[in-house]
Amino acid sequence: MEFRHASVMLEESLRFLAPRSGGIYVDGTLGGGGHAERILADTAPDGRLIAFDKDPDALSAAGQRLSPFGSRVRLVHGDFAVLSSALAEMGIDGIDGIMLDLGVSSHQLDSGERGFSFQQDAPLDMRMDTTKGVTAADIVNNESREELIRIIREYGEERWASRIASAIVRARETLPVTSTLQLAELVKGAIPRPAWEDRIHPATRTFQGLRIAVNDELGSIRRGLPAAMQLLNRGGRAVVISFHSLEDRIVKDTFRSFTGRCTCPRDLPVCVCGQSAAVRILTAKPVRAGEDEIAANPRARSARLRAAEKL
């Protein structure tokens, strides 16, 4: 299946990133290569891009798309959380910008065999990196009821997590839960019919929670974004697009942690923490996609863009 991923808020992203020739940039979530292609075009003739992705399909497809840029682009199979060590191995100790388009790609959602969606029956996988790691089926069939509740409630923001976890545990005692539709039906049966939301499938939040757990998505942001902020050269920028409140909260808090806000106790008469601002936040509030883009790509509706500049 051809790799497809619509680059959300492409123009807004490039406006905040402000790439320039001669700079070194990182695309931590390469996907289909849309943002990467524009970064390389805007940094001609000698700008460099290091692009990370956990998905081998993404790397293969984007590699072909970006091949005209030759040695100016370097692809890395891996989580952007390891960018510090990866860049160090390349002899790079500073970058001029980083782009992160978080979450799952259109290709991953639309490829039934990947198990990210309940639109068709498929193995319950959900791994972005199909070469390693536990699957959603591993978690569903092996974790305790308490851990399932935590994953579904914390990562899926699902208020019916306890009932859903109980239904999963009861079902797996008879037959392992191994397919997307099997799990989706369990979730539907666990949530009272009057509580179903109008706009989303009852299993949406549970699938989100499992996907985040399988791929350690929030952990990647917590490790990778602060590392990227440290690596930014003066005037370098970080642009991050998130798709739900859990991601957005980490991005907002990470940016704020670099603004030099005093961390001393409130009852201390004089500041002694010595905090000084390292970045300037460029987006007082998250930027949202426009109506035309949402009409063309409904998945852009939940996108939120934040940006910061290194001082």
pLDDT, one tens digit per residue, over 125-149 is 999 998 999 999 999 999 999 999 9
2 lies in a domain? no
Weakest-pLDDT range from 35-49, 65-79, 168-182, 268-282: 268-282
Asked if residue 223 and residue 208 are part of one domain, the reply reads: no
107 lies in a domain? no
Specify the CATH number for the domain of residue 33: 3.40.50.150
Number of domains in the chain: 2
Asked if residue 137 and residue 86 are part of one domain, the reply reads: no
Of 274, 276, 250, nearest to 264 by C-alpha is 274
Q: What is the average per-residue pLDDT within 5-17?
A: 89
115 lies in a domain? no
Choose the final residue of a domain: 172, 189, 215: 215
Residue 35: the pLDDT is 94
Specify the CATH number for the domain of residue 210: 1.10.150.170
85 lies in a domain? yes
Asked if residue 258 and residue 211 are part of one domain, the reply reads: no
Label residue 232 by pLDDT band (50, 70, 90): very high
Asked if residue 137 and residue 191 are part of one domain, the reply reads: yes
36 lies in a domain? yes
110 lies in a domain? no
Choose the final residue of a domain: 176, 193, 215: 215
Asked if residue 225 and residue 81 are part of one domain, the reply reads: yes
Asked if 104 contacts 241 with a C-beta cutoff of 8 angstroms, the reply is no
Choose the final residue of a domain: 180, 215, 250: 215
Tokens of 235: 């005037």
Asked if residue 95 and residue 46 are part of one domain, the reply reads: yes
Domain that holds residue 184: 120-215
Q: What is the average per-residue pLDDT within 263-286?
A: 80
Give the bridge partners for 305, in sequence order.
241, 287
Label residue 28 by pLDDT band (50, 70, 90): very high
